[in-house]
Structure 1
């Protein structure tokens, strides 16, 4: 548990600093430096389509590592060729998917060409970005199986964003044109995969030779079957993040500009998931090990604890964002305020994701993984249907509201499945108490008059929210983990 706690803290710290850099890029750098919502929308579209491409090529091997690596783990035997399996099949899949991608270009031109011609112009640039995205996903999954997650967090959440900022600066200074900006933008987002290879060589864990017994450790039929379901489920969950942007780009008259406004609001709410994602990078391997050991009491305890911690932090971050939404948009060109209610709807969706804890991870790593596939397919169908109904009359707000409804519904179904199959669920009186405390802090912020200077208003408003929220959480002892962390911190500074 100490390893998990240490890496979770480091991941959260790095992700938080990276989120600050990401906010600077989203709120200030890209909107002002590129000075064109279509160009900003193109960068967001490239980043959303590359994971879809990569997941099709990965053939489910990113999740396969979490489930089966504990059986292959043996450093003396180079983990029985596990990394070779993880790389060779997805890279072959990449060749096939690339061929299909090239064949689909005429259909893409018909679908996006009218409203988003810039996306068609840079169509081929998706291929190299997708390749390095695939490579990073595979190496990240392997490293997490080795209980190594901090370096990847630094690369993806911090370094890539710093390089993006530098790339935008080169463009605004006139040192590169927009085409070279896109090339450098792709290089920045591809750098993490190459550095992961160097990191594995340094760890002496870059074992790419096939193992003699790699098909005998776990029945090959089970690996293939799980990979097939994981492949379909992985595609489903990744397509969801891409569907909104693609449908807005095709159905909205402003095309890529509306993608820029939507994804800006979407990204702003992603700060809410920082603790959740940071802990999950470490917990995936532990959940797999607990399933292998059949230790369901420990798994249930972990489920409740992580849900409570994530909800405590997530609610505070949501309050900080929504109560300062006008201040955030004051730093951006006026047209970006179109994403105001995207922040509200997606913020609520994020809270539900935090409030339902490790449900998806538990299903994926268990023998009930087929049910997560069903839910992912249901999510895709619901997102496409609701977007089709709500984008034409309500634009990007309709897309955000549709996503919120779908995330809430499917996460509640996941909770029900985990409760039914494994007799565990994450809720308790503490969940309701946290929501009540958050409501009190929100009312206090709402009653506070707006101060004349933006930065002063942000500082005072966030200090008020934090003081009331944190004080009530500590006094009510609604989260023993928070009280214990506060006690240790206080003892460290006072001793």
Structure 2
């Protein structure tokens, strides 16, 4: 738990700082520096397509690492060629997917030529971005299996966002044209893979040669079977993120993609603690399953739900109570994403509230059920988007995603409770929700102050004071009280 706490702390700090930079990019830099919403929409489109491309090529090997690496782990034997397996099969998968991608070009061009011509112009740029996205995903999964997460968090959540800001500034000041901006933007998002290789070389863990016994440690049929299920599960969840973007592009163009994805990104701050902790929890959960320590797993399940919900609700309150202030900083047309923030914020809170359910299912021998749920998610997202986007636009897309996320997580919690006799909720979860409601009420009663930045500061302080004060007073989160006590002792208070 000390490893989880330490790395989770640093991951959260880095992700939080990176989120601030990401907010600057999303709210100020890209909307004003690129000026045209279509150009902003193109950057979001590229970043939503490349993970889908990469997951198709990965064939589930990002999840295979979390499940099977504990059996391969042996540094003296170069982990029995595990990294070789992780890289060689997805590389072959990438070649196949690239061929299919090129064959689909006429269909894509016909679909988007009128509504989103920029996406057509930069179609081929997706290939190199997808390759380096794939490489980073694989190396990140391998590093997480080694309990190394901080460097990848720094690269993905901090460095890429700083480099994106630099690229936008170069375009705004006239040093480069838009085509070169896109090239540098792709380079900024691709450099993480190269740095991961350098990091593994420094750790002396970059073992890319095949192992003599790599097919004997775990039956290769089992590895491939799990990989195929994980592949289908991964691509299902990734397609959900992409489906909204693709369907909005087809119906109304890249400008609405810019408004939608801006609201979508603003709510991503809510998942900072969840994603930071999950980077180290995935191998921890795999080890607990290997040891059959279900008591420790149940305790971890509840604790992480409480911690994630505690921080996530505070972040959601900070965003939604300041939503008018956020849009006041942006070009007026971006306010179309107001209800995207509300609906996706609720969806993300529900995801936090259900804790580690997906990770537990995927890592266990019941992983097939998560595949079924992911396929169901894709079907529901496509149907609900088809029904709601033409009528309600980007708000309809967000509402559809919220409904699907809530429904599927209810199923996941039910499956984990049924199969493993554990569930993440307690009276502490209910109390945290009540305290969040009180903090929201305090913000609602506060009148709008005359100065924008003053209102943001005072409103955020009020929410934090009421929320944190009640959490401490009622002792609903022991980790919070204990952490504060230790901090005060260090400061000699």
The TM-score range, normalised by the shorter chain, is over 0.9
Q: Does 1:297 align with 2:295?
A: yes
Structure 2's unaligned 5+ residue stretches are none
Structure 2 distance, partners of 1:407, 1:53, is 22
Q: How far 1:111 moved relative to its partner?
A: 1.3
In 1, the alpha carbon distance for the partners of 2:230 and 2:3 equals 28
CA distance in 2, matches of 1:488, 1:450: 37
Deviation at 1:302, TM superposition (A): 0.1
What is the CA-CA distance between 1:492 and the residue it aligns to?
Answer: 1.2
TM-superposed deviation, 1:112: 1.3
CA distance in 1, matches of 2:4, 2:343: 32
Counterpart among 390, 409, 413 of residue 407 in structure 2: 409
2:158 corresponds in structure 1 to 158
Q: Deviations over 1:441-484 (max 9, x none)?
A: 00100010101111100000000000000000111111111111
Shift of 1:3: 1.1
In the alignment, what sits opposite 1:460?
Answer: 458
2:240 equivalent in structure 1: 240
Matches of residues 18-417 of structure 1 in structure 2 within 5 Å?
Answer: 18-252=18-252, 255-417=253-415
Cα drift, residue 432 of structure 1: 1.0
Cα displacement (A) at 1:488: 0.9
TM-score relative to the length of structure 2: 1.00
- Pairwise CA distance, 1:221: 1.2
**Shift in Å at residue 114 of structure 1?**
1.3
In structure 2, what is the Cα distance between the partners aligned to 1:119 and 1:434?
44
Distance in 1 of aligned mates of 2:474 and 2:387: 44
* Aligned counterparts of 1:341 and 1:306: Cα–Cα separation in 2: 28
**Structure 2: distance between partners of 1:363 and 1:375:** 11
1:447 and 1:473 map into 2 onto residues whose CA distance is 20
Tell me by how many angstroms 1:348 deviates.
0.2
Q: Deviations over 1:79-116 (max 9, x none)?
A: 00000000000001000000000000000011111100
- Inter-partner Cα distance in structure 2 for 1:492 and 1:386: 53
TM-score normalised by length of structure 1? 0.99
After superposition, give the CA deviation of every residue in 1:409-436 in whole Å (9 maximum; x if it has no partner): 0001000000000000001111111111
Aligned equivalents of 2:483 and 2:49: distance in 1? 40
CA distance in 2, matches of 1:107, 1:493: 63
- Structure 2: distance between partners of 1:306 and 1:492: 25
Deviation at 1:132, TM superposition (A): 0.2
Whole-angstrom distance in 1 between the partners of 2:364 and 2:460: 41
CA distance in 2, matches of 1:321, 1:334: 18
The CA distance in 2 between the partners of 1:371 and 1:186, in whole Å, is 36
Match of 2:365, SS state, is: coil
Greater alpha carbon shift after TM alignment, 475-484 vs 337-346: 475-484
Deviation, structure 1 residue 331: 0.8
Displaced runs of 4+ in structure 1, greater than 6 A? none
Q: Counterparts of 2:389 and 2:428 in 1: how far apart (Å)?
A: 37
- Work out the CA distance in 2 between the residues paired with 1:494 and 1:357: 35
Deviation at 1:494, TM superposition (A): 1.9
Aligned mates of 1:337, 1:89 — CA distance in 2: 44
CA distance in 2 between counterparts of 1:151 and 1:427 reads: 32
Query: Structure 1 stretches of 5 or more lacking a match?
Result: none
Shift of 1:187: 0.2
- How many residue pairs get matched? 493
Q: In 2, distance between residues paired with 1:160 and 1:148?
A: 19
Pick one of 412, 418, 421 that aligns with 1:420: 418
- RMSD of aligned alpha carbons: 0.5
Offset at 1:359?
A: 0.2
Q: Secondary structure at the match of 1:224?
A: helix
Cross-structure match for 1:443: 441
